[in-house]
């Protein structure tokens, strides 16, 4: 099930909006309508709600620019960026691999808060040019919008510098620890543990504030703490997984026994005989010894069930030349990254242009389960 709406592309990077952001956008607009209306009721409902909607849209644009800054710096260091998704507490750029040096990690992390601070400063400067002075009331709708945008973007910059990994401040912290200990995984673990500690602090403070009468503000702080805790734990688990796969290559986990099917096999037979009865999840399509492509249950699902007896494997398979593949000498982490980018669960393993095996998420997961059972 898709969890976000595709908004378009900027410089080749897909921009998406998570459904949670839509809820926050409505809440921000309603909150701003109340704030501007209370501050300047004389401006009238039409102007006030236009200000609220306009401010929310410009804040949306500011977050996109914040995330684009991460993406552009990552690209400058030859790190691919697939997409940017806005969600309830901001946004995230899907950077497809980790930075290779502490310096790269530092600049990717720090550029976001710097960008937000610059946007905030420019907005306050625009308000100043319209006649506003610090601490004074706003006299025009446009001035009020610029002042709010200035403060909120500076607040966003400060919040993002909280040293809780994987937030921007946490990435900067990891870069600093990495530069000191010369070990990325140790730095990730340390930054994640610090992030969890800070998250617990947010949760406790938020709960105490709520019971002391701060109302929804306390709950928001606790919610932010919960989000930070979840993210920090996920980052720690990722670090643990990377350590578990240290030195492990695709050759070590791939299977050389790959199920094969004829391209003329109808989909109903494929489902009944190969998927349901034999338990297969991935099949190489072969004819007269020639490898034509790959077919999985996901490909079968693209066809209406009533059409399965009439459609053949050849109709839905992914041609061999379009498949994402792995080298037997690639690391397991690299294979997982390729699967993630391609949104697939398995990869053909090629050596010298010849198929030598298959590597799948299931094989990798079974390896992790076995390690856990053996307490390794």
pLDDT tens by residue, 269-289 = 888 888 887 777 778 888 877
pLDDT bucket at 117, cuts 50 / 70 / 90: very high
Helical H segments across 90-140, by residue range: 102-129
CA angle 360, 96, 226 (to 5 degrees): 95
Q: What is the pLDDT of residue 96?
A: 66
DSSP count for the chain of H helices, then E strands: 13, 10
φ/ψ of 114, rounded to 5, equals: -60, -45
Q: Distance between CA atoms of 138 and 40, rounded to whole angstroms?
A: 9
Confidence check: pLDDT of 121 > 50 = yes
Contact 103, 62 (CB under 8 A): no
Is the pLDDT score of 204 beyond 50?
A: yes
pLDDT at residue 40 is higher than 80: yes
What domains, with CATH codes, occur in the chain?
Answer: 4-244 (no CATH), 250-373 (3.10.580.10)
pLDDT score, position 3: 54
Q: Greatest CA separation found in the chain?
A: 81
Within a 10 A sphere around the Cβ of 135, how many other Cβ atoms?
A: 5
Positive/negative CA dihedral, 39, 44, 45, 48:
negative
Confidence of residue 120 (pLDDT cuts 50, 70, 90): very high
Whole-angstrom Cα distance, residue 98 to residue 340?
13
DSSP sequence for 323-355: ---B-TTSBHHHHHHHHHHHT-SEEEEEETTEE
Q: Which pLDDT score, from 0 to 100, does residue 296 have? A: 82
The pLDDT tens digits of the residues spanning 148-182 come to 999 999 998 998 898 877 788 888 998 999 999 98
How large a percentage of the chain has pLDDT more than 70?
Answer: 95
CB count within 10 Å of CB 217 equals 12
What percent of the chain clears pLDDT 90, i.e. is strictly above it?
16
DSSP notation for 42-76: GG-HHHHHHHHHHHHHHHHHHHHHHHHHHHHHHHH
Helix (H/G/I), strand (E/B), else coil: 212? helix
At a CB cut-off of 8 Å and minimum separation 6, what does 50 contact? 141
Q: Which pLDDT score is estimated for 1? A: 44
| Count, residues in the chain | 376
3-state SS record for 3-25: CEEEEEEECCEEEEEEHHHHHHH
Q: Residue 144: is its pLDDT beyond 80?
A: yes
Q: Is the pLDDT of residue 201 over 50?
A: yes
**Could you identify the residue written with the tokens 């625009």?**
126
DSSP for 217-240, written as a single string: HHHHHHHHHHHHHHHHHHHHHHHH
pTM above threshold 0.85: no
Encode pLDDT of 287-312 as tens digits.
Answer: 877 778 888 888 888 888 888 888 88
More confident call, 303 vs 241: 303
Q: Please state, in angstroms and rounded to a whole number, the distance separating the CA atoms of residues 356 and 335.
A: 15
Confidence of residue 4 (pLDDT cuts 50, 70, 90): low
């Amino acid at each position: 099930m898709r969890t976000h709406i595709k908004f378009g592309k900027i410089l080749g990077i897909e921009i998406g909006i998570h459904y949670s952001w839509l809820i926050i956008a409505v809440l921000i607009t309603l909150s701003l309508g109340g704030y501007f209306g209370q501050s300047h009721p004389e401006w009238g409902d039409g102007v006030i709600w236009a200000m609220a909607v306009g401010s929310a849209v410009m804040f949306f644009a500011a977050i996109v620019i914040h995330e684009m800054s991460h993406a552009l710096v990552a690209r400058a260091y030859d790190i691919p960026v697939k997409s940017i998704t806005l969600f309830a507490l901001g946004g995230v750029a899907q950077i497809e691999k980790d930075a290779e040096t502490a310096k790269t990690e530092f600049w990717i992390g720090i550029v976001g808060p710097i960008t937000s601070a610059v946007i905030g400063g420019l907005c306050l400067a625009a308000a100043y040019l319209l006649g506003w002075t610090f601490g004074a009331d706003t006299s025009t709708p446009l001035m009020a919008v610029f002042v709010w945008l200035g403060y909120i973007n500076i607040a966003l910059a400060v919040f993002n510098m909280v040293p809780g990994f994987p937030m921007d401040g946490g990435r900067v912290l990891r870069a600093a620890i990495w530069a000191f200990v010369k070990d990325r995984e140790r730095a990730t673990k340390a930054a994640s543990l610090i992030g969890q500690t800070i998250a617990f602090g947010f949760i406790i403070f938020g709960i105490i504030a709520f019971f002391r009468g701060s109302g929804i503000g306390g709950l928001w702080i606790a919610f932010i703490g919960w989000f930070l805790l979840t993210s920090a734990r996920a980052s720690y688990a990722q670090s643990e997984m990377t350590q578990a796969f240290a030195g492990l290559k695709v050759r070590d986990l791939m299977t050389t026994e790959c199920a094969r099917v004829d391209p003329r096999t109808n989909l109903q037979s494929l489902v009944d005989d190969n998927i349901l009865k034999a338990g297969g999840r991935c099949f190489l399509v072969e004819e007269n010894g020639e490898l034509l492509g790959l077919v999985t249950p996901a490909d079968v699902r693209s066809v209406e069930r009533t059409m399965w007896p009439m459609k053949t494997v050849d109709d839905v398979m992914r041609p061999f030349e379009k498949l994402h593949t792995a080298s037997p000498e690639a690391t397991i982490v690299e294979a997982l990254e390729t699967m993630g980018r391609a949104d697939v669960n398995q990869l053909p393993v090629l050596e010298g242009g010849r198929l030598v095996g298959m590597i799948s998420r299931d094989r990798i997961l079974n390896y992790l389960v076995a390690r856990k059972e053996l307490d390794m």
